[in-house]
Amino acid sequence: MSEQQAPPPGAAAPVPTRSADPAEHTAGTGGRASQVLREVSTGSLGVTVLAFVLALVIGAVLIIAVDDDVAAAAGYLFARPADFFSAAWSAVADAYSALFRGAVINYRADDLAGVIHPLTETLTAATPLIIAALGVAVGFRAGLFNIGAQGQVIMGATVSGLVGFAWHLPVGIHLVVALLGGVVAGGLWAGIAGFLKARTGAHEVIVTIMLNYVALYLLQYLLTTSLFSTGNQPKSRSVDPSAQLPLLLGDQFRLNAGFLLAILAAVFVWWLMTRSTIGFRFRAVGSNAHAARTAGMSVTATFVLVMVVSGALAGLAGATQVLGTEKFLTDGIAGTLGFDAITVALLGRSKPLGIFLAGLLYGGLNVGGRVMEVSTGTPIDIVLVIQSLVVLFIAAPPLVRAVFRLPSPETKEVAA
Amino acid sequence: MKLELQGITKRFGPLVANDAIDLVVEPGQIHALLGENGAGKSTLMNVLFGLYTADEGTILLDGQERTFRGPRDALAAGIGMVHQHFMLVPVFTVAESVMLGHEDTRGGGFLDLDTARRRVRELSDRFGFGLDPDAVVEDLPVGVQQRVEIVKALAREAKVLILDEPTAVLTPQETDDLIGIMRQLKDAGTSIVFITHKLREVKEVADTITVIRRGAVVGSAQPDASENQLAELMVGREVSLGLDKAPPTLGDVTFVVEGLTVRDSTGHTAVDGVSFSVAQGEILAVAGVQGNGQTELTEAILGVLPADAGSVTLAGRELVGMSPHDILAAGLGFVPEDRKVEGLVLDFTVGENLVLDRYDTAPFARGVGLDLKALRRNAQERIAEYDIRTQGHGQEVGRLSGGNQQKVVVARELSRPLKLFIASQPTRGVDVGSIEFLHRRIVAERDAGTPVIIVSTELDEVAELADRIAVMYEGRIVGIVAGDTPRSVLGLMMAGVPLEEAREQAREDAEPEDGAPGTPVDTGTTSTSATGDEQ
């Protein structure tokens, strides 16, 4: 991150020439936006951890602020301050321990299944998050901001679901075809944005956002057709058992083979970005499109391919959601997956391992937050705040450094 | 006014940009600050001008200690600075530019432009600047814009004038004019700090020379020191200026450009019907002031910019219409003018950058997989061969010095068999030691029989390398002359004066010696296109 840190005004020896050159082709780098993007996605691990700590602290303050007992104790704060602080402490401790019980291990459960149930739920929730975030990260690394994971997840889920309940194929083949359908649908959907960017220079952020709406309303419409729906409910028929992702731990748990796909996807993205010529090109275009073009790479073709790969992963995420977890389609099939995926990609600093861990964290917070709300009455919105704050702090490393009084990273460039 | 810097230290993190620098500038003296790029000259001047605060050390003006919190303080104290890149508003007139920042107003807050006009005219007449106060800045040539900057400083009664690399953007003639202006200012009692890395200018104009290396003063010299001595001080070891290169052994003419016309992205015709050819084993230098179409010319040859008209043939093959990828594969080695923008992916490793244009071919690619071992082996070989100073092939290229970054680019481009080698500004911002090395490599490539095109705005470099010189002005080739053409003639041509006239004028200026005019070897319009037609 240090090398992207802007030196103090005038510190850099003014680099001659090209800066003032208007010859930025339509396909050129995103300039400032991609700079910020790279800063966020390559931030240091320390900042990430500290950002999380900071977010938990602020979350604690909010928990205290909304807790009734604390409010009561605050009424006579000056008479008996100890009451206030013990109430505050117990509110935070209760809420965060409920969060932990809901997300990781329920140490109060009676049997083993009960103990590990939260963990399996976390893994289940993390599965599509991780896969979709990997897709977003591929875009980030190549300098493209794919905001359209949501739409791509929806398209992937739609086609996977359709294959799952409308076609009746032999066991084994059915699942593979259904998964592939989702992958292709997501890839094509994102490919539209890549193609438009390459051909017309249309910014991928705008196009993908718009395509999100198109995908959502398309699904809503499809759910009213007889092909998808049987009754009056905006809900599709159920996916054939032959197209469902097998459960991993038996009927008691929802954890399914989608999680294995998430692991495979992470390995695949690692290989793609660091061990393949395609990833080499993605990264080169993402870091410096000018240099990539001068070295003979086709920047525009790369944009299309990046979007297709990115969308294909998001489509796979949608497929696991419908074939593994939900088993049927509703217009809420994607939830806020596509947007959470952006956050997870940022949190994981666009690296497969980081995303895997960030996806688990995020899935855990989502699952645990619900338990926290039920058992302590702390609103789940606090979890959303924590999630958002983590990203906010990661996006502003100087802020985190200021809070923890860390030295700023060395300024690399020195004046001539 | 006497200016003294005592023990100025400025750090950026762990990096010491200025290490206890002492400097005394006597009144009415031209004090040259000589050092390579990155030596810390500009940092020191930015400290003096109040842009940075020194970590240690004091600034004395006429024996009194001063602290500057910003440029405003420095200006008020009588210190003016002309930055390497001008700080002018393009759409302002000269008078407006001069009053910017300390606008005079009449009653009611109206700008008092008349006073500013008068002041510009006064200063301009006094020093013979020839400035029209109502001219718009963007219409003025670079050299004149620079005078506007100088007038800006003088209008604020600067007693010490800092000129940061003032000649980098000037034609040789403009440089001569500037040197004249510096002498006049000096006679009028202004002290000048002249920052540069060009030895010739230093020797010509400086009263005393301070040499800075790696942030510290390494010595001072008088202007009668030899260029070699100065270069040694600057680099810290012996360097041989001047390249011994054998006369070229010309082969077939394999690279021909005919009637090439290129528009830049704004639609402006940047290259206008340019024709030339290069033979195997020959170096053609394209000289000219920055921004006269050289960049677009090379980019069109590479295929990054589309050609509007004309043809480019390499070994009988038409390149116009081919993609950069295919053109590179056809045997073009290309060193772009700005290594940080077009040459390197700065956050890629040295090893990755060394295969940036070959990552998808054997031996580096196996199917869609990268062969990391081959990448590493290649990197280790190139690092050894080109003496690239790096902590290893895995280091990010952005962390290398300019000279080593440039070596990475050149190593990459020269490490495959070439049919044509083009290098733009091959040694810009490169330390003297690396310049020598890179020049040798370029000549070696020529001697191996490759046609070579060097685009450079530095006449020293052009003179050093060229077998023939094509001078570009406003998108056209003014003329193609022999490599030993005198600087005076080249300088005039760079300002757009046609060859014959330039030679005439140079002869008049420099009677009687300096009379060996370059022989035109190629008029540039109907060049040998034999190989192109054979196809």
Asked if residues B10 and B52 have their Cβ atoms less than 8 Å apart, the reply is yes
Instruction: Show which of B384, B415, B446 is a domain's final residue.
Output: B415
Asked if residues B32 and B196 have their Cβ atoms less than 8 Å apart, the reply is yes
Report the 10 Å Cβ neighbour count for A117. Answer: 21
pLDDT in tens, chain B (535 residues): 888 999 999 887 777 888 899 999 998 899 999 887 777 888 888 888 888 888 889 999 888 888 888 888 888 888 999 887 788 888 899 988 888 877 767 777 777 888 888 888 988 888 888 888 898 988 887 888 888 988 888 888 889 999 988 887 777 778 888 898 899 889 988 999 998 878 888 888 999 999 988 888 988 888 888 888 888 888 777 766 667 788 888 999 999 999 999 998 778 899 999 999 999 999 999 998 878 899 999 999 999 999 999 999 999 999 999 999 999 999 999 999 888 889 999 999 999 999 999 999 888 999 899 999 999 999 999 999 998 888 888 999 988 878 889 999 999 999 999 999 999 999 887 777 788 889 999 999 999 999 999 999 888 889 889 999 999 998 999 999 999 888 888 888 988 888 888 888 888 876 654 444 444 444 444 333 333 333 3
- pTM for this model (two decimals): 0.77
| Domain contains B207 | yes
Q: Choose among A67, A145, A330, A93: nearest CA to A219.
A: A330
Please give the mean pLDDT across all residues of chain A.
Answer: 85
Residue among B52, B290, B348 whose CB faces A17 most closely:
B290
| Domain contains B513 | yes
Pair B454, B421 in one domain? yes
Pair B263, B371 in one domain? no
Cβ-defined contact of A291 to B356 (cutoff 8 Å): yes
Cβ-defined contact of A280 to B41 (cutoff 8 Å): no
Residues from chain B that touch A38, judged by Cβ atoms under 8 A, are 347
Range name among A18-32, A200-214, A389-403 with the lowest pLDDT average:
A18-32
Q: Sorting pLDDT into bands at 50, 70 and 90, what band is A173?
A: very high
Cβ-defined contact of B12 to A23 (cutoff 8 Å): no
ipTM over 0.85: no
Q: Sorting pLDDT into bands at 50, 70 and 90, what band is A408?
A: low
Cβ-defined contact of B338 to A284 (cutoff 8 Å): no
Residue A40 has what pLDDT?
53
Cβ-defined contact of A17 to B396 (cutoff 8 Å): no
DSSP string over A284-296: HHHH-HHHHHHTT
Residue B435 has what pLDDT?
86
Determine how β-strand B105-106 pairs with β-strand B110-111: antiparallel
Residue B240 has what pLDDT?
63
Restricting to A residues 36-75, those with a Cβ less than 8 Å away from any Cβ of B are: 38, 42
Q: Sorting pLDDT into bands at 50, 70 and 90, what band is A407?
A: low
The reply to whether B336 touches chain A by the CB within 8 Å rule is: yes
Q: Which amino acid is at A350?
A: S
Pair B421, B524 in one domain? yes
Mean pLDDT along residues A203-230: 92
Pair B180, B278 in one domain? no
Residue A34 has pLDDT above 70, yes or no: no
The reply to whether B393 touches chain A by the CB within 8 Å rule is: no
Q: B356 to chain A nearest CA, in Å?
A: 6
Residue B511 has what pLDDT?
62
- Annotate A244-283 with b (16+ C-beta within 10 A) or e (fewer): bbeebeeeebbbbbbbebbeebbebbbebbeebbbbbbbb
Pair B405, B428 in one domain? no
Domain ranges, residue B353: 347-415
**Residue B312's domain is classified under what CATH number?**
3.40.50.300
Please give the tally of structural domains in chain B. 3
Cβ-defined contact of B368 to A290 (cutoff 8 Å): no
- Annotate B380-408 with b (16+ C-beta within 10 A) or e (fewer): eebbeebebebeebebbbbbbbbbbbbbb
Residues from chain A that touch B427, judged by Cβ atoms under 8 A, are none
Restricting to B residues 498-517, those with a Cβ less than 8 Å away from any Cβ of A are: none
Report the 10 Å Cβ neighbour count for B138. Answer: 11
Q: Comparing A412 with B439, which gets the higher pLDDT?
A: B439
The reply to whether B389 touches chain A by the CB within 8 Å rule is: no
Restricting to B residues 47-76, those with a Cβ less than 8 Å away from any Cβ of A are: 51-52
Cβ-defined contact of A416 to B348 (cutoff 8 Å): no
Which strands form B476-482's sheet, in the order they lie side by side? B332-335, B420-424, B452-456, B283-287, B468-473, B476-482, B520-522
DSSP string over A94-126: HHHHHHHHHHT--TT-SSHHHHHHHHHHHHHHH
Residues from chain B that touch A299, judged by Cβ atoms under 8 A, are none
Residue A150 has pLDDT above 80, yes or no: yes
Mean pLDDT along residues A153-171: 95
Residue A102 has pLDDT above 60, yes or no: yes
| Domain contains B336 | no
Instruction: Show which of B368, B399, B415 is a domain's final residue.
Output: B415
Pair B147, B199 in one domain? yes
- Residues B362, B507: Cα–Cα separation, whole Å: 56
The reply to whether A203 touches chain B by the CB within 8 Å rule is: no
| Domain contains B277 | yes
Pair B91, B228 in one domain? yes
- From B39, which residue of chain A is nearest by alpha-carbon distance? A416
Q: How many CA atoms lie within 13 A of B244 on its CB side?
A: 1
Pair B96, B107 in one domain? yes
| Domain contains B60 | yes
Cβ-defined contact of B356 to A290 (cutoff 8 Å): no
Residue B239 has what pLDDT?
66
- From A275, which residue of chain B is nearest by alpha-carbon distance? B370
| Domain contains B340 | no
- Residues A111, B471: Cα–Cα separation, whole Å: 87
| Domain contains B341 | no
Distance of CA B320 to the CA centre of its chain: 29
pLDDT in tens, A38-74: 555 555 677 778 888 889 999 999 998 888 888 888 8
Cβ-defined contact of B336 to A296 (cutoff 8 Å): no
Residue B534 has what pLDDT?
36
Residue A303 has what pLDDT?
95
Cβ-defined contact of B334 to A294 (cutoff 8 Å): yes
- Annotate B16-54 with b (16+ C-beta within 10 A) or e (fewer): bbbbebebebeebbbbbbbbbbbbbbbbbbbbbbbbbeb
Cβ-defined contact of A290 to B342 (cutoff 8 Å): yes
The reply to whether A283 touches chain B by the CB within 8 Å rule is: yes
Residue among A38, A294, A414 whose CB faces B17 most closely:
A414
Pair B17, B32 in one domain? yes
Q: What is the 3-state secondary structure (H, E, C) of B204-254?
A: HHCCEEEEEECCEEEEEECCCCCHHHHHHHHHCCCCCCCCCCCCCCCCCEE
Asked if residues B397 and B346 have their Cβ atoms less than 8 Å apart, the reply is yes
Q: B368 to chain A nearest CA, in Å?
A: 5
| Domain contains B245 | no
Instruction: Show which of B392, B415, B438 is a domain's final residue.
Output: B415
Residues from chain B that touch A411, judged by Cβ atoms under 8 A, are 12-13, 15
Residue A104 has pLDDT above 80, yes or no: yes
Q: Comparing B84 with A147, which gets the higher pLDDT?
A: A147
Residue B299's contacts (CB-CB under 8 Å, 6 or more residues apart) are B262, B305
Pair B392, B437 in one domain? no
The reply to whether B40 touches chain A by the CB within 8 Å rule is: yes
Cβ-defined contact of B360 to A415 (cutoff 8 Å): no
Determine how β-strand B160-164 pairs with β-strand B15-25: unpaired
Residue A42 has what pLDDT?
54
Cβ-defined contact of B347 to A3 (cutoff 8 Å): yes
Pair B164, B301 in one domain? no
Q: In terms of C-beta density within 10 A (0-12 exposed, 13-18 middle, 19 or more buried), how is residue A407 classed?
A: exposed
Residue among A283, A294, A410 whose CB faces B304 most closely:
A294
Pair B290, B319 in one domain? yes
